[in-house]
Amino acid sequence: MNAPAPIDYTQLFRLDNRTVVVIGAGSGIGRESAQALAAQGAHVVIADYAFDAAEATTALIQAQGGSAEAYQLNVLDDDAIDAAVERFGSAAALVFTAATNVRKRMEDYSMDEFDRVVNLNLRASFQLIRKFGTRFAANGGGSIIGFASIRAQVVEPGQGVYAATKAGLVQLAKTGAAEYGAAGVRVNVVAPGVVETPLTAQITANPEWYGAYASKSALGRWSRPDELAGAVVFLASDASTFVTGTTLTVDGGWTAIDGRYTPPAS
């Protein structure tokens, strides 16, 4: 494949005249990412299982002068994914953030809970990467951006199944990068640390748990959802034309720190 044209640095992060599909954009990181993409000129497809939430994000972007449309999508429905690819396969980028977690030790997990976490976090990711990847390849290129987690790298009790799905997503992204790269398709994942979203409400409701997580970060705090949006814009834009098969970690230094105790310097 020929290399892309030289980059105009004044347009490095601009997404004018490009469509980006954001799955899970009804709330949290997906909503913030959608706003950031729209602010850079993209037309953003706000896809979410909850259509009212998708409409709310769409209205928010339009009120800010951006371009967006709401779309209801159940990523557990293979036919629905096929329909989304058929309708939005000409997009320049796909972002997917939808995930779930059941925080239980392995011995306490039911297989129904296991299936629920694996199906949304891993099976749906597999379908999205290969379905959009194939269409993007036919179009001559595109960017696919998934959301993994620091749990793909480090774990704690009660995070086993969630961690396994996120580690699996990292490997799917690498494989997608390898299989579709020659056709100009880039596949990457963003790996957040602890972020204040509906998915972490169980933790934020517990002051001791919340504080322990905050102290683990090198920055001494949790992330806001909007602090992940820059990574998404980077991976969707021409600023990352030679970035693929990688994990962009945005964790406030969580995985840089060894242990939870700060020893004396001397």
Tokens of 92: 């320049």
Annotated active-site residue 49? The verdict is no
Closest CA to 184 of 122, 118, 139, 215: 139
Q: In what order do the strands lie in the sheet with 142-147?
A: 67-72, 43-48, 19-23, 93-96, 142-147, 185-192, 247-250
Do 91 and 143 contact (CB within 8 A), yes or no?
A: no
Q: Region of 13 please: left (phi>0), alpha (psi -120 to 50) or beta.
A: alpha
Residue among 49, 71, 162, 180 flagged as catalytic: 162
User: Helix, strand or coil for residue 75?
Assistant: coil
Locus of tokens 């480090």: 154
Known catalytic residues are 162
